[in-house]
Amino acid sequence: MTTTNGAPPDAADLRKRVADLVAAHDPATTEQTEFLAARFDAGLAWVHFPPGAGGLGAPRALQTVVDAEFERLGSVPTHRDGLSIGLGMAAPTIVAFGTEQQRRRFLKPLYTGEEVWCQLFSEPGAGSDLAAVGTRAVRDGDSWVVDGQKVWTSMAHRARWAILLARTDPDVPKHRGLTYFVCDMTAPGVDVRPLRQLTGEAEFNEVYLDGVRLPDSLRLGEVGAGWKVAQTTLMNERVSIGGRPEPREGGLVGVVSELWRTRPELRTRGLHEELLKLWVAAEAARLTKERLRQQMAVGQPGPEGSAAKLSFAELNQRISGLELELLGTEGLAYDDWTFRRPEGQDPLRRGAGFHYLRTRGNSIEGGTSEILRTIIAERVLGLPAEPRVDKNVAWKDLPR
């Protein structure tokens, strides 16, 4: 979509489009889903996406202009917890590899939050080595029949759709025998079971797939090219986890800094020095994320997203440890051990004990820290690749 003179929309044009939309749909009186649907139709959901897919084909950097203008005019989406997989991972993958029909079917309800998404990637026997997944998809006419087990699946208990990586050819090396699908979570044979975590909650799930029949129209990308499609998802996932925009003292460092200011009786010289180190590290990480977003504005996310996610995980764990040290025995009083399946993820509202336990998972979810270090070593620093003895071996012949 272009302006009347044929040029892509610029910042001034986008501000006018936002103002026109807000004038036609008063955020104070328009229901949020309806407002988001109007925003999608106007191409102001993701301005860099193509017209018809919630965008205008504008430069990605202009999304910040649109978001700031909506905020200035009193329209900030709320209740978006639990939508990160759809917004941050499924949507860019569908835009990159989906058909026009798939874009029309999935993107709008994904953006408005009417349909929640989850990610069926990890398996009990293939966590860090994602290319080793064993869930099978076998062609049967115009459909695929899927059997297998997935694990650590966030929000599967709420999801209407899932992105699914499955093995369609066990006779070729592991990276070449995968195909990528959209999975209907309401299809017969999909069984979602809660997986209680260290925190006591079941934010994650196990998902069993028993003879699940998926039409070929739910395939994303070519048969056997699932690894290539998954790379787009994974790069966006790491940016989504590690590259979220934050204000200064946003996130957990803000919680601990506020505790330091309001509870002077907890202070010691040693803890003060540790807080200063972590505050500086958090600020450096925040500015690094900002630079990453600027890089993304001119292209696709690269391996730099792995560095942002790695620093996010390590810093969060150190800050949560300092919070416990500050509070002493008070910090050991766990706020709530009630088993529940949360509707969203907002750990900052919980106590110090929850922060400490939940951040242990930060170095596992979205790619383990060990895998991320390998990516950084090979793709950022250009160091020699690790020896891979399974590179030319058929998946079915690999020891398991």
Whole-angstrom distance, CA of residue 368 vs CA of residue 122: 12
Cβ atoms of 351 and 296 closer than 8 Å:
no
Beta strands in 171-240 (DSSP E): 178-184, 190-195, 204-215, 219-220
Model pTM score: 0.85
CA 379 to each of CA 226, 235, 236, 375, 382: distance values in angstroms, whole numbers, following the listed order:
21, 13, 16, 6, 5
Which of these is catalytic: 206, 237, 304, 323? Answer: 237
- CA proximity to 242, closest of 115, 88, 91: 88
Classify 144 as helix, strand or coil: strand
DSSP label at residue 121: -
Can you tell me the mean pLDDT for 94-99?
Answer: 96
Region(s) of the chain under CATH 2.40.110.10: 83-237
| Average pLDDT taken over every residue of the chain | 89
Residues of the chain with CATH 1.20.140.10: 244-381
Please report the pLDDT score of residue 219 as a whole number. Answer: 98
Report the alpha-carbon distance of residue 181 to residue 137 in Å, rounded.
Answer: 10
CA atoms within 13 Å, Cβ hemisphere of 355: 26
- Each residue of 162-214: pLDDT tens digit? 999 999 999 999 999 999 999 999 999 999 999 998 888 888 899 999 999 99
Active site residue 237: yes
Question: What would the two tokens of residue 378 be?
Answer: 């090979």
Class of domain 244-381: mainly alpha
**pLDDT tens-place string over residues 216-261:** 999 999 999 999 999 989 887 766 665 566 788 988 999 999 999 9
Residue 330's contacts (CB-CB under 8 Å, 6 or more residues apart) are 352
Determine the distance from the C-alpha atom of residue 177 to the mean position of all C-alpha atoms in its chain, rounded to a whole number. 25
How large is the average pLDDT for residues 371-381?
A: 87
Percent of the chain scoring above 90 in pLDDT: 60
Mean pLDDT, residues 339-358 taken together: 83
State in words which class domain 83-237 has.
Answer: mainly beta
Three-state secondary structure string covering 150-186 = ECCCCCCCCCCEEEEEEECCCCCEHHHCEEEEEEECC
Summarize pLDDT for 277-329 with one digit per residue, the tens: 999 999 998 888 887 777 666 665 566 778 888 888 999 999 999 999 999 98
Give the integer Cα–Cα distance in Å for 208 and 113. 25
Q: Is the pLDDT of residue 383 over 80?
A: yes
Query: pLDDT by residue (tens digit) across 12-39?
Result: 999 999 999 999 999 889 999 999 999 9
pLDDT tens digits, 133-145: 999 999 999 999 9
Give the pLDDT band of residue 1 (cuts 50, 70, 90). low
pLDDT, mean of residues 366-370: 84
